[in-house]
Structure 1
Amino acid sequence: MNCYVYADKFFLHDGVYGPGFLEVKDGKFAAFSEVHPNESANVIDFSGYWIAPGLVDTHIHGFKNHDVMDNNIQGLNAISEGLLSSGVTSFLPTTLTSSTETLTKVVKMIGENYLKVTGAKIKGIFLEGPFFTEKHKGAQNKDYFCDPSIELLENWQNQSGHFIKKIAIAPERKGAAEFIGHAVNNGVAVALAHSDAPYEVAKQAVEKGASIFVHTFNGMSGLHHREPGMAGAAMSLPNVFAEVICDGHHVHPAAANILMNARGRKATLLVTDCMMAGGMPEGRYQLGEFPVVVKEGAATLESGSLAGSILQLIDAVKNVVNWGIATPEEAIYMASTAPAKSIQQDGECGRIAAGLAADFIVLTPQLELMATYLDGNCRYQAKNFKGKEVFQ
């Protein structure tokens, strides 16, 4: 696709511009100009709409009735295809705590097949577990919890073709400091999660190189005025990113706002933690080995504990704007550029910049998703979208 895209507003890598014309050449972004190109140029008219970078979900377990832990390429591809309807063009398939053997099979399958998916692009693997502690286990199986193991990580890296880009651990577990240093030195972003660590232990982990707090406020020791805990660390330590699930169930809007104000919106990551029931009707599903009930927008275990979410990333963007805690520009950044930066993939995705793949979304001013483009090709279009018009 070689053309110019015209729209009212563009969320580019260095700011918001428009109306104007964005050139797409050989499937990549080229120059942007507010001046009409030459008369013979092929221009796609998105008058009345906004153009934003494709969203990047760095924490997602499943979608459209498929789970990453199902361990099959058909399911992985179905997730990839389904995510286009959520505005997601890049993602990290996310595992759950399981046996060493099962995790080995899953990361091997992803590493061998990630280039075969035909929808949203897979940018790496996020291993959520098994190096957690029981108190804040959430929907993770405590029977497989263990101390961080460099040997296990190396085995999984070898099996996946060195495709693991992010791993979550509880920093209070034995050997965490050495593990963090090894992982970071080998290009793996270390995240902190499912942990009862006090503030000082979290601080020490960050000093060793940990750089992401997973689903902040959920699955971690809370903020207390005499013990700031993991939540306090997520809000106050320098040079880290903090995930937040903005579905209205996991975190109160006011708490999300406090986090964004403390952390800064450029270091806050909108993630979904979506499980297989995402994009599906209410009912009974599975999250790994656990049965889950989906009702009234929430996914819960039989105990009543939250079990991931059914959130779609474009809805997280809309939510934080509708809650009045972020501007559209900030919300889009938190769901695209910031997640890409957190795993050092912003040179490949999450931004509209010359030379990057033309992965972008078309939005209404109310942030309704109208279309998703991969490499300059329309791959999803909303039923109520009036369509695009080409003019000279």
Structure 2
Amino acid sequence: MESLITRYKIYHGSVILPNGILPVGTVLVENGKIVEIAEGELDFPGAIEINAAGNFISPGFIDIHLHGGGGHDFMDGTVEAFLEIAKTHARFGTTAMLPTTLTSEKEDLILTLEAYQKAHASHTEGASFLGMHLEGPYFALSQRGAQDPKYIRNPDPAEYTDLLENYNCIRRWSAAPELPGALEFADYARKKGVLVALAHTDAICEEVETAFQHGYSLATHFYSAMSGVTRKNAFRYAGAVEAGYLIDEMDVEIIADGVHLPSSLLRLIHKIKGTSKIALITDAMRAAGQDTDHSVLGHKDKGLAVIVEDGVAKLPDRSAFAGSIATTNRLVRTMLQMTDIALEDIIQMISLVPARILQVDQQKGSLSRNKDADILIFDKDINIQMTMVNGRIIYDPNHSL
């Protein structure tokens, strides 16, 4: 943790770029920014030298949908929870994140938003915060998944206008677009610069197409808690999943933990949507980064009890998944093992694409000159060897750098 060092030379590694991989390259960092990327080895007088030892040098991973990790949940509403989650996920390659809420009372949302603002102001160690993501409470009860049904409700103008007026840290809001008032909600949120996503929805395709025109530009955890083809009175109707495919401009995010979606669907989504429209997310809950078989989804005292088995969190009756326990390096590993997608494309889906979705791709998301020095070193099995955030080494498991 060398806070006074302003120059780093990261060399002798395979440098992952958006358009390919440099087999042996160097990345130079100065004052928290990338100043050069080149093949071979470069001189950089006065720099601390980091030998990647033939491993991969990669842009940091950006997770735009996660709830917790390391035994904490953002809904705990404490600064400690935010900071510990950021540190936990940085160990696994996350350099920037969008902390995410669960469906709850307005008072609990405010508590979490207040904690975010305090944590953001004091944050120095761990993944950086890019704003808050409110997941709910405006959902279809029939697609609630593990969201607590007692908090689910229709969009309330008094509620969402108050929150959006008073908390400019809200960067994204996920809702079901077919609900009464959901289009007006989206119109207002977009005026406030908030990314609107469709989630936990029973909408048919035509409803999603209309919603897209009102700003619902991202499909939250694609396939999960989302309508597909249905039949009503013998007629078939395409659902939200089909709309996600048909609307070329719509982005989709996927929980690529190897459990929420099988190999066949991972390959299908990529075949239709392509690398540039897919963001990999963990949707991680508090058990991520822990060795445990029981946990709590949401607030530590008021949340839902869950079990952890088969590499995922589940409701105790096993009727639904309750968020993942994945870390971002697991997502990359899963995509490599379960698809034939090239590594550089997988890295795009967990770096440049989420950065573009959040409109921070001029600062983050790739190893490019003048961008933030959010940099990873990992081995062929995607085990993290170093995490750098804004030019600061915040994780070095071998203490060798």
Partner in structure 2 of residue 121 of structure 1: 128
Q: Of 297, 303, 311, which residue of structure 1 is paired with 2:311? A: 297
- Does residue 281 (structure 1) correspond to residue 286 (structure 2)? The answer is no
Deviation at 1:121, TM superposition (A): 0.4
TM-score in terms of structure 1 length: 0.93
1:61-98 deviation per Cα after TM superposition (whole angstroms, max 9, x unaligned) = 00000000000001111001111111001001100000
Deviation at 1:260, TM superposition (A): 1.2
1:206 is paired with a residue of what secondary structure?
helix
Trace 1:133-282 onto structure 2 (pairs within 5 A): 133-160=140-167, 162-223=168-229, 226-282=236-292
Q: Of 378, 394, 397, which residue of structure 2 is paired with 1:363? A: 378
1:102-130 deviation per Cα after TM superposition (whole angstroms, max 9, x unaligned) = 11221122123313222110100000000
- Given that 1:60 and 1:274 are in contact with CA atoms closer than 8 Å, whether structure 2 keeps it comes out as yes
Partner in structure 2 of residue 308 of structure 1: 323
TM-score in terms of structure 2 length: 0.91
2:381 and 2:325 mapped to 1: Cα distance? Answer: 21
Trace 1:71-150 onto structure 2 (pairs within 5 A): 71-117=77-123, 118-150=125-157
1:213-233 deviation per Cα after TM superposition (whole angstroms, max 9, x unaligned) = 011111010246942201111
1:272-300 deviation per Cα after TM superposition (whole angstroms, max 9, x unaligned) = 11000111113221112211011231211
1:142 and 1:362 mapped to 2: Cα distance? Answer: 42
Deviation at 1:194, TM superposition (A): 0.4
Partner in structure 1 of residue 8 of structure 2: 3
Deviation at 1:150, TM superposition (A): 3.9
1:106 and 1:204 mapped to 2: Cα distance? Answer: 32
1:164 and 1:104 mapped to 2: Cα distance? Answer: 11
190-199 or 334-343: bigger deviation: 334-343
Q: Of 34, 53, 69, which residue of structure 1 is paired with 2:75? A: 69
222-231 or 289-298: bigger deviation: 222-231
1:381 and 1:322 mapped to 2: Cα distance? Answer: 26
Trace 1:346-385 onto structure 2 (pairs within 5 A): 346-383=361-398
2:10 is paired with a residue of what secondary structure?
strand
1:365 and 1:264 mapped to 2: Cα distance? Answer: 24
From the superposition, tell whether residues 57 and 275 of structure 1 become closer, same or farther in structure 2 (CA, over 3 Å): same
Deviation at 1:258, TM superposition (A): 0.5
1:35-77 deviation per Cα after TM superposition (whole angstroms, max 9, x unaligned) = 5434846443223111111101110000000000000001111
2:330 and 2:225 mapped to 1: Cα distance? Answer: 22
- Given that 2:17 and 2:344 are in contact with CA atoms closer than 8 Å, whether structure 1 keeps it comes out as no
- Does residue 56 (structure 1) correspond to residue 62 (structure 2)? The answer is yes
1:131-190 deviation per Cα after TM superposition (whole angstroms, max 9, x unaligned) = 001111011122222222343223223443x01111001011011112212212221111
Identical-pair percentage: 29
Stretches of 4+ aligned residues off by more than 6 angstroms: none
1:274 and 1:322 mapped to 2: Cα distance? Answer: 20
1:316 is paired with a residue of what secondary structure?
helix
Q: Of 24, 29, 48, which residue of structure 1 is paired with 2:29? A: 24
**Structure 1, unaligned runs of 5 or more:** none
Deviation at 1:8, TM superposition (A): 3.1
1:233 and 1:7 mapped to 2: Cα distance? Answer: 45
250-259 or 88-97: bigger deviation: 250-259
- Does residue 321 (structure 1) correspond to residue 326 (structure 2)? The answer is no
1:58 is paired with a residue of what secondary structure?
strand
Matched length: 385
- Given that 2:200 and 2:226 are in contact with CA atoms closer than 8 Å, whether structure 1 keeps it comes out as yes
